[in-house]
């Protein structure tokens, strides 16, 4: 019986990558009409380059699996304003323990004029988390 419990625990934490639903980071632009959100998102293994997201466009989605040996992090430089003078570098995702990868995690980041809002799921309204820096 002890072996069965151990087997269940091990398979629950170390299941094959194919069985693990990808984690997602969603970026929303709620800055207002004619106000694009510029962003540059990257991790240690991936650089998505500089992209733009128009107001109320379909959210930009980053999908990925946690790394098995290193702590997975995703950073995004968000910029907005007439000359992209408002910005913030955000760690939009950070994994938990190294050898216990998370599956199906969701992080929602919403850019608004008064700041950057955050939620950990799609059902909870985002709350103000960060204020824009001017530079």
Which listed CATH number (3.30.110, 1.20.1280, 3.40.50, 2.60.40) goes with 20-134? 2.60.40
CA 109 to chain centre: 7
pLDDT digits (tens, 9 = 90+) for 33-63: 999 999 999 999 899 999 999 999 999 999 9
Task: Give the pTM.
Answer: 0.84
- Report the pLDDT value the prediction gives residue 11, as an integer from 0 to 100: 47
- Report the pLDDT value the prediction gives residue 7, as an integer from 0 to 100: 46
Query: Domain locations in the chain?
Result: 20-134
Report, as ranges of residue numbers, the positions in the chain whose pLDDT lies below 50. Answer: 4-13, 15-17
- CA pair distance 118, 107, nearest whole angstrom: 7
């Amino acid at each position: 019986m002890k072996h069965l419990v151990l087997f269940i625990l091990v398979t629950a934490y170390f299941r094959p990558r194919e069985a693990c639903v990808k984690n997602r980071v969603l970026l929303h632009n709620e800055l207002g009409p004619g106000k694009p959100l510029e962003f540059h998102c990257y991790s240690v293994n991936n650089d998505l380059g500089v992209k733009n997201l128009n107001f109320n466009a379909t959210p930009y989605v980053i999908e990925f699996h946690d790394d098995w040996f290193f702590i997975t992090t995703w950073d995004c430089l968000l910029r907005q304003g007439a000359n992209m003078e408002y910005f913030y570098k955000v760690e939009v995702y950070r994994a938990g323990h190294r050898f216990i990868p998370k599956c199906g995690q969701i992080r929602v980041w919403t850019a608004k004029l008064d700041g950057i809002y955050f939620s950990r799921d799609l059902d909870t309204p985002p709350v103000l988390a960060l204020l824009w820096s001017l530079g």
